[in-house]
Amino acid sequence: MYTLIDGKLLAAEMRGELKEKTQLFEKERGRKVGLAVVLAGDNPASQVYVRNKIKACDEVGIKSFAVYLPQNVTQSVLEQAVKELVSNCAVDGVLVQLPLPEHIDAESVLKLIPAEKDVDGFSAENTGKLLLNEQSLVACTPHGVMKMLEKYKIDTKGKRAVVLGRSNIVGKPMAVLLLNADATVTVCHSKTQNLKEECLRADIIVSAIGKPKFLTADMVKEGAAVIDVGMNRDEAGKLCGDVDFDKVKEKCSYITPVPGGVGPMTITMLMYNAYYAAVRSKT
């Protein structure tokens, strides 16, 4: 029998706690926590994510600053918008939704966000601090996964963890967080040989590769915990994760659904990061 990790419920609980914290912040500092979200272009998935981020801000009492720019925005207009948000003392965190339109140099845009307002945890400084196991703003998705493991008391100490995917946003920070939590971590990617054997050894699998139903039951050890970061569409256009959920769940001790698993936790950790940045700000 498996336990379903209810990300939606966990996120709702955490947002309730966060709302109390942001109210206290407002009382003490005479202003709200502020989070800016920049969306450039018309990527439909990004539009949904940004809408959900703004909605979550309202829910937890964070003031949102949304900036929408067209698909053909120039580098300089986008950079100017980010610069203005960064220098606004009512804005504690700035997030630029990725991916940016192809003609934009995303790295130059992201570099404009100082570490203390980098609520995505993407900057070199925050990434470096994570590696050194120092307090920092941690990338929201892997941070949310760690919260899920903690809340469901899934032991990481000395356990074999396999991370599928090596992106800067999810795979790499996920591996570091698991390592910091005393797991024995293997990162698998498109060039990995014997991927099935690597997965079969794992007590915990975190999949973030973006391939629908990639992780099948024959790749999972009996009793493993499986966390699905994937957000894909199947042949019928239905939202699905990286995990062949219906078959894999029968072998698991714990498993996350898609939707209703990691997704709501990612946004909750963004709210948490904005609050964390606000508490540390001087304004």
Instruction: Confirm whether 120 is a catalytic residue.
Output: yes
Give the one residue of 92, 118, 120, 203 binding ligand GUN; rule: CB under 6 A: 120
- Minimum CB separation of residue 59 from ligand GUN in Å reads 18
Helix axes 7-29, 140-151, angle to 10 degrees: 110
Give the one residue of 10, 33, 140, 161 binding ligand GUN; rule: CB under 6 A: 140
Which residue out of 97, 117, 172, 242 is catalytically annotated? 97
Nearer Cβ to ligand GUN (41/224): 41
Residue 225 and residue 207: Cα distance in Å, rounded? 11
Cβ atoms of 61 and 19 within 8 Å: the answer is yes
Residue 166 and residue 5: Cα distance in Å, rounded? 24
Nearer Cβ to ligand GUN (86/98): 98
Cβ atoms of 227 and 205 within 8 Å: the answer is yes
Q: Which two tokens stand for residue 26?
A: 């407002």
Residue 119 and residue 270: Cα distance in Å, rounded? 6
Binders in 154-193 for ligand GUN, by CB under 6 A: 169
Query: Which residues sit opposite 228 in a β-bridge?
Result: 207
Q: Which stretch binds ligand GUN (CB under 6 A): 8-16, 80-88, 91-99, 215-223?
A: 91-99
Q: Does 106 bind ligand GUN (CB under 6 A)?
A: no
Q: Which two tokens stand for residue 125?
A: 């400084």
Residue 103 and residue 79: Cα distance in Å, rounded? 13
Cβ atoms of 144 and 262 within 8 Å: the answer is yes
Nearer Cβ to ligand GUN (93/212): 93
Cβ atoms of 226 and 167 within 8 Å: the answer is no
Q: Which stretch binds ligand GUN (CB under 6 A): 92-100, 184-192, 196-204, 245-253?
A: 92-100
Q: Which stretch binds ligand GUN (CB under 6 A): 26-34, 93-101, 209-217, 255-263?
A: 93-101
Q: Does 203 bind ligand GUN (CB under 6 A)?
A: no
- Minimum CB separation of residue 192 from ligand GUN in Å reads 23
Q: Does 198 bind ligand GUN (CB under 6 A)?
A: no
Which residue out of 6, 92, 120, 228 is catalytically annotated? 120
Q: Which two tokens stand for residue 53?
A: 């981020």
Give the one residue of 36, 85, 95, 206 binding ligand GUN; rule: CB under 6 A: 95
**3-state DSSP assignment of residue 72:** coil
Q: Considering only CA atoms, which of 108, 114, 224 is closest in space to residue 164?
A: 224
Which stretches of the chain bind ligand GUN, using CB under 6 A?
95-98, 120, 140-141, 169
Residues annotated as catalytic (active site), given as ranges:
53, 97, 120
